[in-house]
A = this chain, B = another copy of it.
C-alpha cells in the first residue's frame, strides 16, 4: 500500500565453507528483502556445479514452501532474487536468478539495475547468432560475460572486461560452478553489501537488513566499480573499475531501503529522521501533533517532532493482515478501499492542527484520500510535509516512476497541489537538503528524478521512449496489485 515507486530488485548470495542446506537461509534473506520486489522471486542452489532452481511469480512466502525448499537440496553456494512488478516482467519465465549454461559451465545471475545501452548490446549479440529467452537485462549481461569468457582465463576476468561494455546501473551477483561474485557498477547506483558469519560463510545482499536473518555480521559495502570474488581460495577484490565518479540513488534512503539497514555507513532510519529535521527547518508551522503515513513516513515524522518539539502522535492503524489476495471492492464501493488498509486514530487528531509527513507524492490521489480521512476524523488543520523534492523527471536506472503526464508535480503548481490535497500548507524537502541526508556516505548522489541531471549519459531514443510512455490499462492493474501487497 502506498508504494508509489518501484525498486528494481533485491539480490542475495551465499558462499559456505561446507555443503549444507542453503535454500533456507536464502529464503529468509529474500523475505527480509521482500520490500525491494514483490512480483517474483527465485532461489538457485549450487551443489558442486549442479544448479537446482525454483522461481515463480508471487511473494516469497507464497512461492516457497518446505517441500520446494527441500527439493533444492544441499549446496555450498546459492543465489536469490526478488523482483518488482512491471508490465513486461510479470511472466514466470522472466523471474530471476537467470540460470544458463555456456562453454565454461553453468552460470546464474541476480541483478538489481538497468542498462541504458541494453537494446544496442542485444542487437549486436543477435547478429552474431544469439538467442534470447527473456526480455530482461540479465540475459544481455550473461552474453556480455560469456562472450569475453571465451578469451579470458576466468569468469571474474570476463566480468571485468564485460564492464567496459555495460552502461547503466547494476548491483549484481554471479554464481559459477565454484565461485560467487559480487559486482557493483562504477557509479554505485544501488547498494550492495557483504557480511560474514562466525563459521566463515560469506554473504552478499542488497541491504544489510538481510544479513541479520541469516546470522551474518555486516562487513562492508561493495565499492562502486568493485568485483568481489569468493571461492575456495578465499575472497579477492578486483578494483579496475573503481575510483570513478559516483552517483548513488538518493531515494534508497528516502524510501526504498528498510529503516534498519545501514547503507554506506549511514543508517536509513537516521537519514529519514534527518529529512524530518530539514523539513522543519525549511517549512516550519504551528501545530499540535506530528504524524507519519505508515510505514515510510514514520521516521521522518519522528525527526520532525524531535526537531520542532511538537509531540509525535500515532495517527494511523495499518491492518496487519494485508495480503496480496485481498479482494478489491467492486467499483461502486471503491472509495472504501483505502479505509480497509489504513484507519485514522481519531483520538490523536481530533480538534488538532496536524503535521502529516510522507516520503513523496506521485499522482496525489491516495494522499488526498488520507487527508480527507484526517479531516473527517476531526483534524482542524493538516500541514503536509514530504521528505523528498517533487518528482519531475523519469529515472533510467531502476526506479519505475510514472510518466510525466501522471506526475502531479509536472501538472500542477505547489499551490494547486495543496488545493487538490486540501491541505493547509505543503512543503517539499529541497534538492539541496536531500543531498545531505547521508553525510556519512562517502559518495555522490543521483538526484536525476528531481533535477533532470543524470550522472551518466542517457541515449536519446531511451529518453524519448520514456517521455512518451503512457500508462496502459495493464500498468494500472499492476499498480493496483502492487498497492495490495505492501
In the complex, per-residue mask of A463-486: 1 if CB is within 8 Å of any chain B CB, else 0: 000000000000000000000011
Q: Which residues of B contact A133 (CB under 8 A)?
A: 99-101, 133
Q: Is the CB of A146 within 8 A of B128?
A: no
| Contact digits for A302-321, partner B, Cβ 8 Å, 1 yes 0 no | 10011000011110010111
Q: Which of A23-31, A238-246, A358-366, A429-437 contacts B (4 or more CB under 8 A)?
A: A23-31
A143 proximal to B (CB < 8 A): yes
B340 touches A28 (CB 8 A): yes
Query: Would you call A157 an interface residue if the criterion is a C-beta within 8 Å of the partner chain's C-beta atoms?
Result: no
Residue-wise interface mask of A (95-137) relative to B, using a CB-CB cutoff of 8 A (1 in contact, 0 not): 0000111110000000000000000000101111111110100
Q: Identify which of residues 20-59 in chain A touch chain B, using a CB-to-CB cut-off of 8 Å.
A: 21, 24-25, 27-28, 31-32, 34-35, 38, 53, 59
Contacts of A325 in B (CB 8 A): 61-62, 65
Q: Are B150 and A127 in contact (CB under 8 A)?
A: yes
How far, in whole Å, are A65 and B323 apart by their CA atoms in the complex?
12
Q: Tell me, rounded to whole Å, the shortest Cβ–Cβ distance linking A309 to chain B.
A: 11
The oligomer's copy count stands at 4
| A64 CB-CB contact with B under 8 Å | yes
Say yes or no: A132 contacts B102, CB within 8 Å. yes
Task: List the one stretch of A174-182, A212-220, A225-233, A405-413 in contact with chain B.
Answer: A212-220
Are A126's CB and B99's CB within 8 A? Answer: no
Is A166 an interface residue, CB under 8 A from the partner?
Answer: no
Give A106's nearest chain B residue, CB to CB: B132
A326 contacts B by Cβ under 8 Å: yes
A198 to chain B, nearest CB (A): 13
Q: Which of A336-357 contact B (CB under 8 A)?
A: 336, 339-340, 343-348
Q: Which residues does chain B contribute within 8 Å of A103, judged by CB atoms?
A: 123, 126-127, 129-130
Partner of A214, one of B209, B260, B336: B336
Complex-state Cα separation, A53 to B133, whole angstroms: 12
CA distance A102 to B66 in the complex (A): 38
CA distance A31 to B341 in the complex (A): 9
A81 contacts the other chain (Cβ, under 8 Å)?
Answer: no
Spot the interface stretch: A327-335, A387-395, A443-451: A327-335
Q: A123 contacts which chain B residues (CB < 8 A)? A: 103
A60 at the interface (CB under 8 A from B): yes
Q: Are B102 and A126 in contact (CB under 8 A)?
A: yes
A403 on the interface (CB 8 Å rule)?
A: no
A69 at the interface (CB under 8 A from B): yes
- A269 contacts B314, C-beta separation under 8 Å: yes
Chain B hits for A131, CB < 8 A? 100-102, 130-131, 139, 142-143, 146
With a cutoff of 8 Å between Cβ atoms, the chain B residues found around residue A237 in the complex are none
Contact of B101 with A132 in the complex, beta carbons under 8 Å: yes
Given A35-B320, A213-B336, residue A327 in contact with residue B127 (CB < 8 A): no
Query: Please, which residues of chain B bring their CB within 8 A of the CB of A320?
Result: 35, 295, 320, 322, 486
Q: List 18 A-B contacts (CB under 8 A).
A: A27-B327, A32-B340, A32-B343, A35-B320, A65-B327, A100-B133, A102-B126, A102-B129, A127-B150, A129-B146, A212-B339, A212-B343, A213-B339, A267-B345, A267-B346, A302-B314, A320-B320, A323-B323
A residues contacting B by CB (< 8 A) are 21, 24-25, 27-28, 31-32, 34-35, 38, 53, 59-62, 64-66, 69, 91-93, 99-103, 123, 125-133, 135, 139, 142-143, 146-147, 150, 209, 212-215, 258-260, 262, 267, 269-270, 295, 298-299, 302, 305-306, 311-314, 317, 319-323, 325-327, 329-330, 333, 336, 339-340, 343-348, 485-486
What 9 pairs across the A-B complex have the smallest Cβ distances?
A267-B347, A103-B126, A101-B132, A34-B321, A100-B131, A260-B317, A260-B345, A260-B343, A269-B345
A103-B130, A128-B129, A214-B336 are known; give 10 further A-B pairs, CB within 8 A. Answer: A28-B329, A31-B321, A32-B343, A59-B323, A65-B325, A102-B131, A129-B130, A258-B317, A267-B346, A269-B348
